[in-house]
Copies of this chain bind each other. A is one copy, B any other.
């Protein structure tokens, strides 16, 4: 089981955005420089964040991105869903003879995996961008 970088980058970038977008839109270039994330990769990530209405963009010179909601309204679960960072348990094979078919004869681990998913998602649903800002506001970056 692992957590990938994409979700982490998305969170890092949005925290950065939340701290700097109060006056002007923030360019991806700036975020790239501050957070050390490739600009091209950031563009892919922000494309998804925009499709999911987490950020808004302004084009042209002095353009950039702004959060489309308040930090306390943006939950981590929204962010991870947006960038396709799903908590995906490996599915039981439907075609397996002895395996789990999701109906009466669930395999022994089926319920367990469901529980775990719920457990993790609950964690992400509780945490908002604002929580992360608080945790880090006392530090200079």
Contacts and interface: CB of A to CB of B under 8 A. Distances in A.
Interface of A: 1-5, 7-8, 11-12, 15-16, 33-36, 76, 80, 85-90, 93, 96-99, 105-109, 111-113, 115-116, 119-120, 123, 127, 132, 135-136, 139, 141
A3 B89 contact: yes
B2 A90 contact: yes
A90 B105 CA distance: 36
A127 B112 contact: yes
A79 to B, nearest CB: 11
Given A1-B1, A120-B120, 19 more contacts: A1-B80, A1-B86, A3-B87, A3-B89, A3-B113, A3-B116, A8-B90, A12-B107, A35-B98, A36-B97, A105-B141, A106-B139, A108-B135, A108-B141, A112-B135, A115-B123, A116-B120, A116-B123, A119-B123
B36 A98 contact: yes
Contacts of A87: 1-3
